[in-house]
Structures are given as C-alpha cells and as structure tokens.
A = this chain, B = another copy of it.
C-alpha cells in the first residue's frame, strides 16, 4: 500500500517539496486504512450478541470511516490545494479519530476488532497531527 501512495505522489506533476512527502504519505495511508478498519469494526460490532451496548461505538466508527475517507481523497489531490480547506479536513479527521479511538478502547478488552480499531484510529490521529505540525 505505502508503495502505491508514494509512487503516485512522485508521479504527480505538481508535487511539492520533498521534505513534506513522508508525513503526507503516512497520513494518506493512515486515513485510507483507518477508514476501512472503522467500516469493518462497525460491522463486526453489529454481529456481536451484545450489539445494543455497542450502538455508540458503531455510530462513531461510521462517522470516522466517512471523515477518514474524505480526508484521504483531499490529501491525495496535489493540484492547487486550498490550504485552509486541507487543514480543516485534517483537523476534523484528527478529532474523529480521537473520538473513535477513545470509544473503541473501552471495548478493547472484550473485542479484538475494537482493540485493532482503537490502535488504527490513534495512528491516524497522530498522522494528521504530524502533518498539521509539519505544515507549520
């Protein structure tokens, strides 16, 4: 995965300073993987016998999946970015991943899918924060 994201960044005619690429590549990859993980976690929660207790977790998973997906697409575009827009997307993604990591961590002891999802959300939240920091 990482390789494809990087290959496409390098192939883009408008790619900017090399020094940003590592944080950007990691953030695109993290958003993409986190979106899939949250989608899968919502569905795994739905199949648990105690689904009624996981309604809040499913809801946060679905929100986080949608926002991560949108953010991965925004970050994948390198043509004429509107900096304010890109930052606002990153900030929303950071918040969504933090909320979902907290929610899933509460169920991590009971469900492996929530444990994995909490880790993935934390990784994505950190990738968004790192990219915002790298952009100053």
Name A's B-contacting residues (CB within 8 A). Answer: 1-2, 4-5, 7-14, 28-29, 32-33, 36-37, 39-44, 46-49, 51-52, 55-56, 58-60, 62-67, 69-70, 72-74, 76-82, 84-86, 88-89, 91-92, 94-96, 99, 103, 111-113, 116-117, 120
Pick from B33, B63, B84: contact of A99, CB under 8 Å: B84
- CB–CB A113/B43 < 8 A: no
- CB–CB A113/B47 < 8 A: no
- CB–CB A47/B12 < 8 A: yes
Tell me the bound Cα distance from A66 to B92 in angstroms.
Answer: 13
Tell me the bound Cα distance from A32 to B36 in angstroms.
Answer: 8
